[in-house]
Amino acid sequence: MLNTAAAYGGMAVAPHHLAAEAGGAILREGGTAVEAMVAMAAAIAVVYPHMNAIGGDGFWILAEPGREPVGIDACGAAVAAAVPELYAGHDAIPPRGPLAALTVAGTVSGWKAALDASASWGGRLPLSRLLADAIRHAGDGIAVTVGQAALTAEKLPGLKDVPGFAETFLIEGRLPAAGQRLRQPALAATLVHLARAGLDDFYRGDVARALAADLGAVGSPLRLSDLESHRPLIVRPLSARLSVGTVYNMPPPTQGVASLMILALFERLGVEAAEGFAHVHGLVEATKQAFLVRNAKVWDPAYMAEPAERFLEGPFLDRLAARIDARRALPWPQPAAPGDTVWMGAVDRHGRAVSFIQSIYWEFGSGVVSPRTGVLWQNRGISFALEEGHPNRLAPGRRPFHTLNPALARFDDGRVMTYGTMGGEGQPQTQAAVFSRYALFGQPLQAAVTAPRWLLGRTWGSDSANLKLEGRFAPALIEALREAGHDVEVVADFTDLMGHAGAIVRHPDGRLEGAADPRSDGRVAAL
């Protein structure tokens, strides 16, 4: 994948080709970027079940020409019965099983909020059409990907006894092989019902009642009242001003502020060329400074001592940048968290852009599947602490910290870029790599996505917290990083550890460029 996809009209990119096709089809029928994204979000929840589900959370950035971008926070809070005493005898919240299913799944509410917020865009396609591809794939079956087969086998010891998992994701009681057909009939029926009754039914209707009954029956603290009280939030995205334009990301409880800080700090270092020591070392050290702030200060904004905007002010960033040594690495590691997520982007024929991310946290989330609905539930709430006095201690109604952060940039020359990735701790780092290569150093978009990447710390599938570099980096660069004090580990040339990135750029003349990650099963779909 060395040639950037190009087109006029509309474009969609996703880490699975069937999700990209679902979005592309909606755009070809005259649908808006938001309508295309709802179709993609539903489809990816079916065709990439190890990474995603409608039982997770989601975040959106919507950008319409001539207007300020709008953010949608579809993050579910800890349920009313989720108190630390519930986990007496546990050192931490169990990562799998019913006790891990302790937050409301917000993403479906985000789909509705996005459709409502974009009503002025002229969307006319019925919900039944937007969910049609997802319904078909769930009912007819999907071909299990290599990644899904491998992760099912790897994670089965911790999931096989979780209620509903084996019945949903094993085939006749056996591990699925790549290429086998996996059907999800209960999920298909749920999507059909939502298409008919409306998305709000997930929270205040028949689907909500089935979810609450099923999860409660197996020991989850979630109740119907928790679903009924959930509402998504319309928020103002955070922004950082760079030399080439303005970059936007989501406010807390996401780590979007860290993604913006990395770019703003890196620009202050005055690096002049890509791919050398100064580029990689500079971004890694900027990441450390941003993560130190994030780890100490960023969680549910209702509990934060300072607003996130404070960390993007010029004097604050100047002080952090002054701490970066251009030749030596700051000792690491710091605590990190895994995450299993999908990022997707869409731009329609009118230049309206969407950056969207949806997640269930770990691969297969809590592992709990509601038998009546076929919905797999997230385990995002395990990011809460149980210790008394901890700044991120579990409390009813508290929203969990999210690694999720969709990004969007508006360039001074009129270009608009929607971009992002999955990958937990790696999301801000991959965003910085892709953006710096394309926007600051002029690399072609696909080359910026395909180029070798690095990861400081831990992400999904990895427990170590060192600096991992794909093997395609020059040996001299790898050695220079080691000599500077980085604990370097060389990994495979194209590895899932580095996330599944994607991007779309719309030029002022309406031309679109799109790039999908060769590390994923994704593609670009265009008119």
Question: 38 vs 61, 171, 493, 501, CA distance in Å?
Answer: 13, 28, 33, 19
Identify whether the C-beta of residue 452 lies closer than 8 Å to the C-beta of residue 433.
Answer: no
Is it true that the peptide bond before 253 is cis, omega within 30 degrees of 0?
Answer: yes
DSSP 8-state class, residue 330: P
Q: What are phi and psi for residue 444, nearest 5 degrees?
A: -60, 150
**What is d(CA 516, CA 28) in angstroms, rounded to the nearest whole number?**
19
| Exposure class string for 78-114: b at 16+ Cβ within 10 A, else e | bbebbbbeebeeeeebbbbbbbbbbbbbbbbbbbbbb
Q: Which 3 state secondary structure label does DSSP give 300?
A: coil
Helix (H) or strand (E) holding 347: strand 340-347
| Exposure class string for 203-234: b at 16+ Cβ within 10 A, else e | bebebbebbbebbeebebbbbbebbeebebee
Catalytic residue list: 341
Q: Count of residues for the chain?
A: 527
Identify whether the C-beta of residue 94 lies closer than 8 Å to the C-beta of residue 381.
Answer: no
Note the maximum CA span of the chain: 62
Helix (H) or strand (E) holding 524: strand 523-526
DSSP 8-state class, residue 478: H
Angle at CA of residue 489, ends 16 and 280, nearest 5°: 75
Q: Sort 333 into a burial class: Cβ within 10 Å, 0-12 / 13-18 / 19+.
A: middle
